[in-house]
Homo-oligomer: A and B are copies of this chain.
Amino acid sequence: MTKMSKKKAAILQAATALFATKGFADTHMSELSSVTGAAEGTIFYHFKNKEHILLTILSDTKVSIVDEFNAHMDDREFETGMEMMEEVVAFYLLFAGRMEYQFLILHSLFIYRLAESRAEFRDNLEAIYDCLVTFFEQAIIKGQEDGSIGDVNPRKSALIVFTMVDGLVRFKNFNLYDAGALFNELIDSVRRMLKPN
């Protein structure tokens, strides 16, 4: 990350929290200005418009997710694919907790509406999902080689597991119930789902 003015960084950080909690349309530049102490003019000096702030956040989020997942997984070796799967799930939940605002934005409708019409948004979203699903898939493939995971379609099962884990994160972020309380249940479920019969 190249160095960035204090104000610009503050604007991005505040916008991330506000977009996540209030939504895009309901977050006003005046608010962003008062929260960060930057004048409205300053915001438009750094970003050509409101949408561009969101795109920057999404792009930064993509970089964080792709980099951190790769770094975390490269760091360690796994005996079995099933172990790797458990680690992917655990790291996903941990990471989503650390990046709560970013994941809230990823779970928001407005980002998908933009993705439909704007390639810059779509590309970032696709990169994020592809990276994540691929990790789940790799674990399944590895597990099928070493016998720790049964004979399932790797991509499809990866999507199902991803759906479960991501759904739990969403429920937690939407305050429906606490994902942490279901962690053990989730890991058990994944194990039962994937183990050879």
Contacts and interface: CB of A to CB of B under 8 A. Distances in A.
Contact of A167 (B21, B167, B185, B194): B167
Nearest to A157: B185
Nearest to A179: B163
Nearest to A185: B156
Given A23-B110, A160-B164, A116 B186 contact: no
Interface in A142-197: 152-153, 156-157, 159-160, 163-164, 166-168, 170-171, 174-177, 181-182, 185-186, 188-189, 192-195, 197
Main secondary structure of the interface of A (DSSP, over half): helix
A107 interface: yes
A26 interface: yes
Contacts of A176: 129
A interface residue count range (under 10 / 10 to 19 / 20 to 34 / 35 or more):
35 or more
A109 B112 contact: no
A60 B170 CA distance: 24
Contact of A25 (B23, B116, B167, B170): B23
Given A23-B113, A109-B174, A156-B182, 9 more contacts: A23-B109, A23-B110, A25-B26, A104-B109, A107-B109, A152-B188, A163-B164, A192-B194, A193-B193
